[in-house]
């Protein structure tokens, strides 16, 4: 898994880019070009421009780089939902919404095609739930629709990056970015944040999911159908 984010993290990145683009083996050329594209996308560089010693391929606008990164998604499609924690148990372990409870909440929002997978760590529930969709056009459409639902409600990727807590605590109930209070019932509800899982989100999913997913280009998927 690639976790670096700049050329400083990998001093010979240019050499690696050149190698993947200029593979001498016809049998591995497709795989090498796929790796070349993935590396450029993760670095925010222009994969459509042949690399050379001038390194002009590194010049790409921030908007274009972001669009390229959003294009490479995990496959089958996943939506990552955060803030699904419910509190701490008496023994101090974190608790959160289970798969069945989350499936019910997602159906209530009008999205019945996904299956929930709650993520757990050493201290219990991580407050993160994956919503897995089928690996076809229907599944992709449903996953994108769910991600757009959160984005339109100002509960997407960028907002979560801004409001997410360093750690969950009992004071979360006082944080209006994490918990809302129903005016009629007075019930406290967690505010969910969600977005479509991309290649850059590999560190946010569990090991079993990382083993099972591949990386797919939305543009290429659409054009091949």
Q: For residue range 29-84, what is the model confidence (pLDDT) as tens digits?
A: 666 666 777 777 776 776 666 677 667 666 666 676 667 678 889 999 999 999 99
- This prediction's pTM: 0.75
Closest residue by Cα to residue 178 from 167, 143, 186: 167
Give the mean pLDDT of 123-148: 95
β pairing state of 85-88 and 94-96? antiparallel
- The DSSP symbol for 154 reads T
Query: Could you give the dihedral angle defined by the CA atoms of residues 38, 147, 150 and 123, in that order, rounded to the nearest 10 degrees?
Result: -70
Confidence of residue 224 (pLDDT cuts 50, 70, 90): low
Helix (H, G, I), strand (E, B) or coil at 170: helix
Closest residue by Cα to residue 131 from 172, 74, 90, 188: 74
Residue 74, preceding bond cis, omega within 30 degrees? no
């Amino acid at each position: 898994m690639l976790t670096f984010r700049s050329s400083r993290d990998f001093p010979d990145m240019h050499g690696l880019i050149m190698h993947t683009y200029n593979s001498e083996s016809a049998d591995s050329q497709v795989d090498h070009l796929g790796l070349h594209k993935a590396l450029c996308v993760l670095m925010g560089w222009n994969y459509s421009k042949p690399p050379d010693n001038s390194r002009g391929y590194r010049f790409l606008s921030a908007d274009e780089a972001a669009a390229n990164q959003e294009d490479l998604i995990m496959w089958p499609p996943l939506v990552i939902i955060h803030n699904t924690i419910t509190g701490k148990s008496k023994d101090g372990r974190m608790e959160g919404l289970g798969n069945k409870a989350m499936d019910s909440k997602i159906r209530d929002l009008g999205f019945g095609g996904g299956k929930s997978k709650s993520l757990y760590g050493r201290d219990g529930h991580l407050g993160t739930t994956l919503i897995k969709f089928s690996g076809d056009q229907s599944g992709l459409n449903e996953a994108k629709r769910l991600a757009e639902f959160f984005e339109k409600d100002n509960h997407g990727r960028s907002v979560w990056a801004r409001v997410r807590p360093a750690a969950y605590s009992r004071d979360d109930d006082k944080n209006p970015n994490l918990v809302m209070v129903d005016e009629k019932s007075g019930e406290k509800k967690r505010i969910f944040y969600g977005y479509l899982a991309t290649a850059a989100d590999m560190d946010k999913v569990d090991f079993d999911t990382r083993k099972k997913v591949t990386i797919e280009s939305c543009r290429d998927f659409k054009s091949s159908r």
